[in-house]
């Protein structure tokens, strides 16, 4: 019963979209199981560029059924915008995309609270995407959330909204914001309920039946391991569980995946605040950002860039049970004469294990670097591992050695075809 989960092993933006896309043609179901519209996946197909925030990347493959399960928080306006963009581009979404009614709704007050809370935290802010992710999840765990289930029952929705606005307006005005008008929000959401209703169906029974029947199911992760709310660099993280085991809670599949594909960028990036031991600021960091197009797909913020971090990536692979690696963006390193790789951390001469460190400690470690020779040759047109220069293969195999998991796909450019596939 083949279940595959694809997740990032860094801080997100590893290029998961194109790795999911490369495998989606071969599966029956493609599902999103965590995160929300904070995610941004880019897939380039010839002259077409698709950016997904909520719809599973598999939607481009016309034979695949796509599901959004209950771990995902939904901004209806973003979702409906994405659906109409796809349908206008000739991709049929109706009867192919199902959304669990258990999904929590991002309300306008969540987005306002997101920015007010960030502002109030000042220098210690997380640097969120501003999409309301933290506030909607805190409502979820404190029993204050509104779900799609509620949206389908107008009287229930109106009453819950009335109570929430009483609470939220007090909070918002105390933090210096402007209160929301009940009637305005209600009308906005009643309108989206009608537009969303053709896509609502409980996803767990669909997944369970498919799993029992031995169908191929692909869970496309939305974030990187270090954004996991429990295991990531808290509080510089996101609000979902990112790990593959979350498919039990979020999607109702009673099993651990057969295959866990860890997507790893050939260097490291992060967006927002928080520790980043291998960060490079200055001309080399700028070069990585420009060559890699490292600007957020959701917020367009410049991403912080740095060297590959073997300590963090190997621990992420270990904890997530990663069985194979898809390495992305090796071509971004093509021009460099030499490339440092972080093989571990130390502080005051003592070697440290990142699993024992919180975000403050992680901000103080000194990375131990090993310098690899660069290859200074374009890799973009290469499709076979053996056609890469020795220095490129050596860099890749050193990464593989440090992560401790085989690298089976290597992307050498943003387009679907620009991939070296050694899966056999």
> Catalytic residue positions?
13, 41
The neighbouring-strand residues paired with 373 are 338
- Applying CB under 6 A, does 223 fall inside the site for ligand IMP? yes
CA 217/CA 211 separation, integer angstroms: 7
Are 422 and 340 within 8 A, CB to CB? Answer: no
Q: Which stretch binds ligand IMP (CB under 6 A): 122-130, 241-249, 356-364, 415-423?
A: 122-130
- Applying CB under 6 A, does 271 fall inside the site for ligand IMP? yes
CA 199/CA 93 separation, integer angstroms: 9
- Applying CB under 6 A, does 104 fall inside the site for ligand IMP? no
- Applying CB under 6 A, does 227 fall inside the site for ligand IMP? yes
Is residue 376 packed enough to be buried (19+ CB in 10 Å), middle (13-18) or exposed (0-12)? middle
**Strand bridging mode 48-52 / 41-45:** antiparallel
Task: Pick out residues in 178-217 that bind ligand IMP (CB under 6 A).
Answer: none
- Applying CB under 6 A, does 328 fall inside the site for ligand IMP? no
- Applying CB under 6 A, does 69 fall inside the site for ligand IMP? no
- Applying CB under 6 A, does 396 fall inside the site for ligand IMP? no
> Binding-site residue total for ligand IMP (CB under 6 A)?
20
Q: Which stretch binds ligand IMP (CB under 6 A): 32-40, 142-150, 326-334, 378-386?
A: 32-40
Q: How many CB atoms lie within 10 A of CB 327?
A: 26
Residue 72 CB, shortest distance to ligand IMP, in Å, is 12
Residue 150 CB, shortest distance to ligand IMP, in Å, is 23
Q: Residue with the closest Cβ to ligand IMP? A: 272
**CB within 8 Å of 100: residues ≥ 6 apart:** 67, 68, 69, 70, 72, 148, 200, 201, 202, 203, 204
| Residue 268, SS3 per DSSP | strand
User: Which listed residue (4, 42, 126, 314) binds ligand IMP by CB under 6 A?
Assistant: 126
Residue 298 CB, shortest distance to ligand IMP, in Å, is 6
CA 332/CA 307 separation, integer angstroms: 12
Please give the backbone phi and psi of residue 228, each rounded to the nearest 5 degrees, phi first.
Answer: -60, 135
User: Which listed residue (4, 69, 100, 128) binds ligand IMP by CB under 6 A?
Assistant: 128
Task: Decide whether 137 or 392 has the Cβ nearer to ligand IMP.
Answer: 137
Residue 265 CB, shortest distance to ligand IMP, in Å, is 11
- Applying CB under 6 A, does 127 fall inside the site for ligand IMP? yes
- Applying CB under 6 A, does 37 fall inside the site for ligand IMP? no
Task: Decide whether 66 or 242 has the Cβ nearer to ligand IMP.
Answer: 242
Helix (H) or strand (E) holding 45: strand 41-45
Are 341 and 308 within 8 A, CB to CB? Answer: yes
Residue 367 CB, shortest distance to ligand IMP, in Å, is 20
Task: Pick out residues in 130-149 that bind ligand IMP (CB under 6 A).
Answer: 131, 133-134
Are 20 and 413 within 8 A, CB to CB? Answer: no
User: Which listed residue (24, 29, 33, 40) binds ligand IMP by CB under 6 A?
Assistant: 40
CA 37/CA 130 separation, integer angstroms: 10
- Applying CB under 6 A, does 38 fall inside the site for ligand IMP? yes
DSSP H helices in 143-219: 148-151, 154-174, 182-196, 203-212
User: Which listed residue (13, 75, 294, 309) binds ligand IMP by CB under 6 A?
Assistant: 13
User: Which listed residue (129, 164, 313, 392) binds ligand IMP by CB under 6 A?
Assistant: 129
Residue 393 CB, shortest distance to ligand IMP, in Å, is 29
In terms of phi and psi (left: phi > 0; alpha: psi -120 to 50; beta: otherwise), the region of 403 is alpha
Are 16 and 56 within 8 A, CB to CB? Answer: no
Q: Which tokens belong to 393?
A: 């293969």
Residue 353 CB, shortest distance to ligand IMP, in Å, is 24
Residues that bind ligand IMP (CB under 6 A): 11-13, 38-40, 126-129, 131, 133-134, 223, 227, 236, 238-239, 271-272
């Amino acid at each position: 019963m083949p279940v595959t989960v694809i997740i990032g092993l860094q801080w997100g933006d590893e290029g998961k979209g194109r790795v999911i896309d490369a495998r989606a043609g071969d599966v029956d179901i493609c599902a999103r199981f965590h995160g929300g519209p904070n995610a941004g996946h880019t897939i380039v197909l010839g002259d077409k560029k698709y950016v997904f925030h909520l719809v599973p990347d598999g939607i481009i493959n016309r034979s695949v059924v796509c599901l959004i399960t209950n771990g995902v928080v939904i901004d209806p306006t973003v979702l409906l915008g994405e659906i109409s963009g796809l349908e206008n581009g000739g991709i049929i979404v109706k009867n192919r995309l199902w959304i669990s009614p258990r999904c929590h709704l991002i309300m306008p007050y969540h987005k306002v609270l997101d920015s007010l809370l960030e502002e109030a935290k000042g220098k210690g802010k997380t640097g969120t995407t501003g999409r309301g992710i933290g506030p909607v999840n805190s409502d979820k765990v404190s029993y204050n959330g509104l779900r799609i289930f509620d949206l389908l029952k107008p009287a229930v929705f109106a009453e819950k909204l009335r109570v929430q606005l009483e609470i939220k307006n007090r909070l918002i005005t105390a933090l210096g914001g402007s209160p929301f008008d009940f009637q305005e929000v209600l009308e906005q959401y009643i309108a989206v309920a009608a537009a969303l209703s053709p896509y609502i169906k409980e996803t767990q029974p669909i997944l369970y039946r498919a799993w029992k029947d031995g169908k191929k199911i692909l869970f496309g992760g939305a974030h990187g391991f270090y954004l996991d709310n429990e295991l990531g660099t808290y509080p510089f993280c996101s609000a979902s569980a990112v790990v593959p085991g979350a498919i039990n809670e979020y999607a109702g599949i009673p099993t651990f995946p057969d295959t866990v594909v860890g997507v790893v960028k050939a260097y490291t990036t992060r967006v927002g605040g928080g520790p980043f031991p291998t960060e490079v600021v200055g001309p080399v960091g700028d070069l990585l950002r420009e060559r890699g197009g490292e600007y957020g797909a959701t917020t367009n913020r410049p991403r912080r860039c740095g060297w590959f971090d073997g300590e963090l990536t190997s621990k992420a692979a270990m904890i997530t049970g990663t069985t194979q690696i898809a390495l992305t963006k090796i071509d971004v390193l093509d021009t460099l004469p030499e490339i440092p790789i972080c093989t571990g951390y130390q502080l005051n001469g003592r070697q440290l294990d990142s699993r024992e460190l919180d975000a403050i400690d992680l901000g103080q470690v000194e990375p131990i670097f090993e310098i690899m020779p660069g290859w200074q040759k374009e890799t973009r047109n290469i499709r076979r591992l053996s056609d890469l220069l020795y220095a490129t293969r050596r860099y890749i195999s050193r990464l593989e050695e440090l992560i401790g998991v085989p690298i089976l796909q290597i992307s050498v450019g943003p387009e679907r075809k620009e991939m070296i596939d050694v899966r056999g």
